[in-house]
Chains A and B, each alone.
Chain A
Amino acid sequence: MGSAARGPYGVPLLAAAGAVFGAMVLAVSAGGRDGGTTTTLFSGMVGGLYLLTGSVVHLRRPGRLGLRMVTVGIAWFAEDLQVSTEPVPHTAGLFLRSVASACLVHLLLAFPEGSLRAPVERALMGSLFLFVLVAVPAGVPFYQSVTPNLLFVANHGQLQDEVIDGVQVVVAVVVGLLLIRRWVVATPPARRVLAPVYGVGLVGTAASLAHPALSGEDAQLVNDVAHLATLGLPLAFLAGALRVRLGRTAVGDLLLALPQGPPEDLRDLLARALGDPTLRIAYPSPFTATTSPNAPHADSAAYPTSAAHSTSAAHSTSAAHSTSSAHATTSAHGASDDDADGYVDAEGMPVVLRLADVVTPVRRGTRVVAVLLHDPALRADRHVLRAVTAAAALELDNQRLAAEARARLAEVRASRVRIVAAADEQRRRIERDLHDGAQQQLVTTALLLRLARDRLGPAPPDPDLVALLGRVADGLDASLRDLRELARGIHPAVLTEAGLLPALRALAARGPYPVRVVDGPALPPLPARVAATAYFVAAEAVTNAAKHAQASVVHIHVRVTGGRLLVTVADDGVGGAEQRAGTGLLGLRDRVAALDGALAVHSAPGAGTSVHAELPLPVEPSGEAESLTPVDAPGHDEPSLPTSLPPEGP
């Protein structure tokens, strides 16, 4: 299991060395063979087949599987050393008398990925290797065999044989159960891969179990079957390993053949193909730079990246894979800090990564068109994953474009709301700045001027000066009046101080001609932006009516019904306002639309003009009503928060 196995030729080289080793073993042990059980030819064929198939598997599917198979072949030869009649190889063989079985169990459990997945598998293999590499060698001095044992001290051979047999039974049962479980939970593609090994293994096991119970020709036949099964097992491993590749193209064909349906269909398709029902598809957000979640690759290969771990961790051993989910749930945050906002779903909504998610980018050319968020266990089937992502890339790219469009639309809508809120906030701030700044200073200046004028006394030395100061005072008064009107036009303080209805009444009261506010039942608390929008619509409509309508009266109707605030401004004037529906109303139409509302103007010539706005209210207006609550204190008037307004009675 050296690092040499990682290179493409490390495993074949190891196999070649194993072949040389095997030939030597066969040569030294040939004399001790019992022709009835294992011949030199059979032993050599079994070991050689493992070396050969392991090399082939490794070349076709780089990974640990080929290495495991070659290891079984070498261990197979090593076990044969004990058959030798020469004392030295025989004694050496005693140390290794059970390693082939352990390696075979390891191969079985790790097939087809080459790595163990479940903790129970790792625990079993750990104990087993401890047994065959420590416990069994420790018993060598106490084992008397026909060929002289060079280290012999005392004979407890029978005990050792019983212990080894017992361990074999236990391991066989546990392995059997694990294999059964794996078969049960396996997806159909996975079963296709497992089938050859399971088939051959089942035949061999049945034959071995049946052999002692039979005699004569039947026994010979069954024995031959068992031998053939032993020979066939490495070939079955090879077949299974190659089936992974076959399965991969099958998945690809399947995907390409399928009609391109809605996003959910594609997700279900991929989830089924990859055997991960929790699989999700996400698309790079159009608003973040398209940074690849992994180092760029020349081809469109898919290499998974763990969401919870660094890239290097993602490529670590299977042991890390299996623990990643448990580990991730205990590590408070890790997944979504950096890249959570980097992905959107098919609807364009941001995707939050789960802690255990593994992110596999899907590329077309160099561009990441989508990512698959899936279970870490899937990483084992990297080749299938690669095939699936390659096949799905085109369709995913299409859906990415759709998702991108939706995300942009959602962003535009959100940004429009933000712009309205920001504009409101700006108006409020300007009003406050005017009030606390210019208005306050002018009032103070006017007061100081009055004090100065009072000082001049009843008999001023210079009447012209008095007249001049009087004009200054008048100018200050006029400025204050102008400023007050300006501030009110920018944002009427009463709107935030007392609510929509008082603000509309004040609007009506200031009008140069009759404006009546007609309200139904008391209004519920309104979000600040809804109240402001309603107010500005009414103000604009009233202004238009005053300018153009020649009306005798204007009515402002306000009421809340069905979760919507309805504002209607109707006059009995000349109508015909549609054509000249000013830019003011046009701007308000955008503003109303930003709140998902609607604005309609009806103005047939001679029938008066009515401006009708409908503004949806949030489902749950927060805040409670209190008669004198300032609507939004500084620091609380976040535009996005619905701010409560006091209830408005008559």
Chain B
Amino acid sequence: MISAEIPSTPSAPATPSVPPVLPVPSVPPVPSVPSVPSVPSVPGVPSGTATRVVLADDAPLFRDALAELLHRDGCEVVAQAGDADGLLEAVERHRPDIAVVDIRMPPTQRLEGLRAALLLRQRHPGTGTLLLSQHLEVAHLDELIGRSARGVGYLLKERVTGPDFLDAVRRVAADGCAFDPEIVPMLVGAGARNRRDELAHLSPRERQVLALMAQGRSNAAIAAALHLTNRTVETHVRNIFVRLTLPDETEHNRRVLAVLTYLRSS
């Protein structure tokens, strides 16, 4: 079961394509590049240091496969739940680093996961919440984030097959945030059409940086993703904040919150 191989990001030409982050055709898609692992992903590490995960999804097959994926990445899946009540119970008992939650669960198959996630974020601020959904809605994102972008994530469910998923899990588990690349253009479209011109003033590189920021990446991760130095990224970030007249912040989830707030505001 446990293989000695370290899961690696596929370097094969068949890199899953990520849609353009910002609706500017001239910008090439953000290349999918291995993120800088903030937690060493070694299988079989002692449970004290491994990321402890609770999974909630009503499809056992998917849950098992996801558990295996996380396990092979060195996470410890401490519990699985098929519904919101089970999820809340499991989190209460195990106090995991992160709960990965499907938005639709029994009994109504509507927003049980979102409601449970809101409860989790309220009751267990130390536990990150990563919400998975088969479609993204700005309205749900607003609900989920509330006043803090710490320890929260919102991804399309199919991202579990992508190279960035495990990185997103670790980020959210470490009190960071992770948002689906597709949500950013929706945010722009939903609330800030009138700011599109301002966004257009950013250079293509800055737009790339902003897109990655909006996903919750750290400066280091952005640097690695774009093959830049940390200092260059920091400069880009400062420039973005200045051009968008946003206050400079160092902590990355605050930045994301600021970006999201900016994008949502009209």
Contact = CB atoms under 8 A, between A and B. Distances in A.
Interface stretch (B87-95, B156-164, B221-229, B244-252): B156-164
B69 A505 contact: no
A580 B165 CA distance: 47
A634 B108 contact: yes
A508 B189 contact: yes
Contacts of A505: 138-139, 190-191
Contacts of B16: 473-474, 477
Nearest to B72: A454
Interface in B192-207: 193, 196
B69 A450 contact: yes
B66 interface: yes
Contacts of B134: 435, 439-440, 443, 484, 487
Contact of A628 (B8, B108, B143, B186): B143
Interface stretch (A99-107, A191-199, A378-386, A488-496): A488-496
Given A496-B110, A628-B143, A509 B158 contact: no
B137 A446 contact: no
Contacts of A458: 5, 8
B76 to A, nearest CB: 18
A486 B103 CA distance: 19
B2 to A, nearest CB: 12
Contact of B61 (A444, A473, A484, A630): A444
B190 A509 contact: yes
Contacts of B266: 650
B17 A477 contact: yes
B243 interface: no
Nearest to B266: A650
Chain A, interface size category, equals 35 or more
Contacts, number: 142
A628 B114 contact: yes
A466 interface: yes
B135 interface: yes
A349 B255 CA distance: 64
A627 B62 contact: no
A496 B62 CA distance: 26
Interface in B71-120: 72, 104, 107-111, 114-115, 118
A509 B161 contact: no
Nearest to B6: A458
A446 B3 contact: no
B115 A474 contact: no
A510 interface: yes
Contacts of A447: 62, 65-66, 69, 160-161
Interface in A465-517: 466-467, 469-471, 473-474, 476-477, 480, 484, 487-488, 493-494, 496-499, 502, 505-506, 508-511, 514-516
A444 B109 contact: no
B185 interface: yes
Interface of A: 432, 435-436, 439-440, 442-444, 446-451, 453-455, 457-458, 466-467, 469-471, 473-474, 476-477, 480, 484, 487-488, 493-494, 496-499, 502, 505-506, 508-511, 514-516, 627-628, 630-631, 633-634, 650
Given A476-B161, A508-B193, A627-B143, 20 more contacts: A432-B109, A435-B134, A440-B62, A444-B62, A446-B161, A447-B160, A454-B5, A458-B8, A474-B17, A480-B158, A493-B135, A494-B137, A497-B137, A497-B139, A498-B137, A515-B193, A628-B118, A630-B110, A634-B107, A650-B266
